[in-house]
């Protein structure tokens, strides 16, 4: 035993340019050999003072800001913000407008989860096949966004009172073709990875969080549901008529990286069901309510939340009866979900830390607002 070599802990920086960080983000870890004994998150590289800038622009002019928080889920971010303003101003949305919002939000969830699943498989060491398959289906969703809003990534489509444009006549047949193909694609991804012993070794038991720990960290979305808690804003606090749609809340049981992956796959299946129901029952009538260009909501405050692809996405808006919000604040799921990163990485290896970060599915634009 006298000849045993003792290792000495040293500090390792992962990022801010590391390809597996999903954005400009840095983890400062202390390692003893391959094991992480401490971890510190360093963020702020993308901070743009967005919330402060929003207080100098009109309520409508702020919609493009929300595109650029979670730029992989612009439709969902648009929706959360306009719901908060509508709540503040007492504006009602036509039934058709609400149905279109649901369709776009669920298509956005599918597109975002395609990116999450594809990038996550890359983080586990898989070759490019799953990534290319996921990007192929995501591109088809972005084609639908482009034909409706004119943009693919930062769509700027939701409006206070409804949506910017009605659906073009080509939208429904193209969407139904996509919905017919998506279940087969999800089955392909599942068949490729779920039985793969290397993928299972890299994800099973990695970054596990108990239901109690996930709740204490205020996690939401696939992070929370992966730990076995069936909490979904679309069910718990419905908006845009979600109470009319039949869908399930997928959950995991181990709370590890594998369960979070499976939950996202199952959520895509549920989103397909929701979009099909919304298209089948799509009402006629106007797609939006006329709202004054210089909207001045009565003095007060409002908070609205949606179930974004990454979890509970909330917007808090305060009005002083002026044309701009007196206060504008975002409750970003990526930022709050990331708070559990240290809990999930300490005790594991450096390689596991990359998998854990990928399983959280962060978007740094939402963290650094």
Q: What is the pLDDT of residue 18?
A: 53
Q: What pLDDT does 13 receive? A: 81
CB 252 within 8 A of CB 267: no
The reported pLDDT for the residue numbered 1 is 47
d(CA 134, CA 112): 10
pLDDT in tens, 224-283: 999 999 999 999 999 999 999 999 999 999 999 999 999 999 999 999 999 999 999 999
Q: How far apart are CA 114 and CA 108, in angstroms?
A: 10
Range of lowest pLDDT (140-144, 160-164, 179-183, 291-295)? 291-295
Number of other CB atoms surrounding residue 150 within 10 Å: 12
- Domain residue ranges of the chain, discontinuous segments joined by +: 50-367
Residue range 213-221: mean pLDDT, rounded = 93
pTM of the model: 0.92
Report the alpha-carbon distance of residue 54 to residue 329 in Å, rounded.
9
Question: How does pLDDT run across 88-116, given as a tens digit for each residue?
Answer: 999 999 999 999 999 999 999 999 999 99
d(CA 17, CA 2): 42
| Coil, helix or strand at residue 189 | helix
The CATH homologous superfamily for domain 50-367 is: Cytochrome-c3 Hydrogenase, chain B (1.10.645.10)
Tens-digit pLDDT profile for residues 39-55 = 888 888 888 888 899 99
H or E element: which one contains 329?
strand 327-331
């Amino acid at each position: 035993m006298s000849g045993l070599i003792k290792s000495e802990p040293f500090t390792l920086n992962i990022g801010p340019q590391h390809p597996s960080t999903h954005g400009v983000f840095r983890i400062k870890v202390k390692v003893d050999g391959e094991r992480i004994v401490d971890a510190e998150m360093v963020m702020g590289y993308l901070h743009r003072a967005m919330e402060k800038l929003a207080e100098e622009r009109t309520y409508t002019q702020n919609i493009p800001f929300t595109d650029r928080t979670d730029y992989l889920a612009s439709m969902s971010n648009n929706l959360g913000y306009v719901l908060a303003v509508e709540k503040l101003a007492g504006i009602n949305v036509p039934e058709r407008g609400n149905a279109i919002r649901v369709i776009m939000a669920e298509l956005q969830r599918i597109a975002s989860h395609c990116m999450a699943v594809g990038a996550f498989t890359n983080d586990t060491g898989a070759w490019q096949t799953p990534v290319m398959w996921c990007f192929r289906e995501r591109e088809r969703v972005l084609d639908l966004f482009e034909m409706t809003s004119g943009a693919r990534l930062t769509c700027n489509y939701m409006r206070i009172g409804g949506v910017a444009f009605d659906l073009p006549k080509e939208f429904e047949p193209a969407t139904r073709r996509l919905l017919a193909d998506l279940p087969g694609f999800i089955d392909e991804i599942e068949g490729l990875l779920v039985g793969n012993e290397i993928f299972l070794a890299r994800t099973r038991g990695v970054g596990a969080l108990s239901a109690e720990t996930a709740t204490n960290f205020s996690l939401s979305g696939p992070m929370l549901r992966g730990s076995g808690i069936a909490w979904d804003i679309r069910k718990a606090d419905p908006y845009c008529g979600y109470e009319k749609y039949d869908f399930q809340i997928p959950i995991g049981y181990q709370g590890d990286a594998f369960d979070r992956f499976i939950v996202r796959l199952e959520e895509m299946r549920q989103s397909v069901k929701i979009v099909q129901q919304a298209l089948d029952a799509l009402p006629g009538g106007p797609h939006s309510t006329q709202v004054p260009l210089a909207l001045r909501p009565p003095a007060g405050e409002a908070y609205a939340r949606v179930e974004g692809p990454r979890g509970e996405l909330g917007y808090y808006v305060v009005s002083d009866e002026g044309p701009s919000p007196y206060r504008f604040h975002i409750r970003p799921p990526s930022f709050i979900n990331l708070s559990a990163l240290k809990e999930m990485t300490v005790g594991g290896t450096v390689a596991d830390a990359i998998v854990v970060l990928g399983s959280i599915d962060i978007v740094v634009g939402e963290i650094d607002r």
